[in-house]
Amino acid sequence: MKVDLNPDFIEKVLAGRNAVDEYREVHRKNKTHPIDVLLKTLREVGFDKSETLGDFYYDNTLYNVQQLGYKDIPEWLEKATPIEKEALEKLWK
C-alpha cells in the first residue's frame, strides 16, 4: 500500500528530529543542556500540545511506519514483520 505523506507533517517531524539531534549533540559535548530549550524548539515547529515530547514521539513513529508503507501505528503493530519492528525499535536510541 502506498501512503500519501503530507509534506507539512513531514517538515514538522524532520524539524523535530533536528531539534532532538541538536539537543543530544550539545548534551554530549557539555554534559548538560536544559530540556526547556528542546521543548521550546519542539513547540516552535508545531509540537505545541500539552505533552510536547509525547506528541513528537508519536508523530515521529507515525512517520516511520508510513515510510514503511503502513497507514498508521495500529496497522503496523498488527502487520509488521519482526524485522521491521526490530529496525524501528533501534531508531532514536
Query: Tens digits of per-residue pLDDT, 27-42?
Result: 888 877 788 889 999 9
State the pLDDT at residue 20.
92
Domain extent at residue 83: 7-90
Establish if 1 belongs to a structural domain: no
- Asked if residues 26 and 35 have their Cβ atoms less than 8 Å apart, the reply is no
21 in any annotated domain: yes
Convert the pLDDT of each residue in 46-63 to its tens digit: 998 778 889 999 999 999
6-18 confidence digits (pLDDT tens): 899 999 999 999 9
How many domains does the chain divide into? 1
Give the list of residues 6+ apart from residue 62 with CB closer than 8 angstroms, or none: 72, 73
Q: Model's pTM, two decimal places?
A: 0.80
